[in-house]
Amino acid sequence: MFNRFILLPIFVLYCALPTLSHAQEQSTESSSADASDILFSLEKADESQQPSSGTLFTASAQFGFLYLTGNTRSADIKTGLDLRFERGLWRSFFIFDLLVKKTETETQISDDELHKELETTDQKWSISSQTNYTLDAANQNYIYGSVFYEENRFSGFDSQASMSTGWGRRWFENKTTSFDADIGPGFKRDVTQVTTEEKTAGLTSKTQDTLILQAQANYIKKINEHIEFKQSFTVKHAIEVGQNSIYKAESSITSKLIDSLQLKVNFVIDYNSKVDDDKENLNTETSVVLIYSF
């Protein structure tokens, strides 16, 4: 299933690209830079740097690290990769995120001996991918297909995955601000974790499949030529009563340090409507990372 989720948007893009004729590329060359894309920045690439083929590929990597020693020891690592591809009326992206946290724990071996070691207290990784096709460049309407997969060791789920397709539009845009939103039906699969007691009793993980209504919105504001603010919302509402729904909000401020290096402060709110009794519905994440574009 993991492979299917990754390959779906790439397969859609591969099949659709050959259908773009040379005439279409010429007629949309001036307007495609303004085609709406829910997760693309306002900042457009310099036309003088665009390849003659009309294809644009960008990539960036982020990394944050914190290691403490002394009375207590801990280590935190956050890293990720962001790939984006544009050709004519098509826009695609692929994002990978990884977070690992280790905290020192103490184990009493004897009355006068204490064993200390770093134990993993948080670990999760996720991938998300989306492909957009602009229907009407003048009105900035588009259709999209998206997939998502996450494994979070301490969330109560072995994995969470979803896929969706639908319609979207860039509702507002000027030189410094844009607002995009899309909506469509989809499918979500949650695989629950098994506790030690449940394993002892011979129980296995449960797979919960449900249809969802997915809605996304993205607001971008360029404060000045060096600082950009982004706010996004994602809702994956389960159609069936009693199934888990996901609500996520992400805020970030990115500041350019040099041409290819940026500093990003990010805050994420992640809410699952139905979790185990010993888990929290609401999780938050605050991070500061360096982003290198290449």
Q: Is 3 within 8 Å of 146 (Cβ atoms)?
A: no
**pLDDT score of 35:** 36
CA nearest neighbour of 131 among 291, 7, 2, 294: 7
Non-local (6+) Cβ contacts of 170 within 8 A are 36, 37, 140, 178, 179, 180
Tell me how far apart the alpha carbons of residues 129 and 144 are, in angstroms, rounded to a whole number: 11
At residue 25, the pLDDT reads 43
**Average pLDDT, consecutive stretches of 10 residues, N- to C-terminus, the chain (294 residues):** 44 43 41 39 42 74 85 85 90 93 78 74 91 84 96 86 95 91 96 74 82 96 94 96 94 93 94 86 91 90
Helices (H), the chain: 2-16, 22-28, 196-200
- The Cα 188–Cα 160 span in angstroms is 8
pLDDT tens string 231-265: 999 999 999 988 999 999 999 999 999 889 999 99
CA gap 160, 156 in Å, rounded:
10
Identify which of 251, 254, 250, 252 has the alpha carbon closest to the alpha carbon of residue 225: 254
pLDDT reported for residue 46: 42
Hey, what amino acid is at 147?
V
d(CA 272, CA 131): 26
pLDDT of residue 198: 66
The pLDDT of residue 1 is 44
Return the bridge partners of 21, or none. Answer: none
How many Cβ atoms are within 10 Å of 199's Cβ, its own excluded? 11
Q: What is the dihedral of CA 48, 44, 131, 248, to 10 degrees?
A: 160
Q: Are 31 and 137 in contact (CB under 8 A)?
A: yes
Q: Which domains does the chain have, with CATH numbers?
A: 2-31+53-293 (2.40.160.40)
How much is the pTM? Answer: 0.75
pLDDT recorded at residue 60: 94
Predicted local distance difference test score (pLDDT) of residue 30: 38
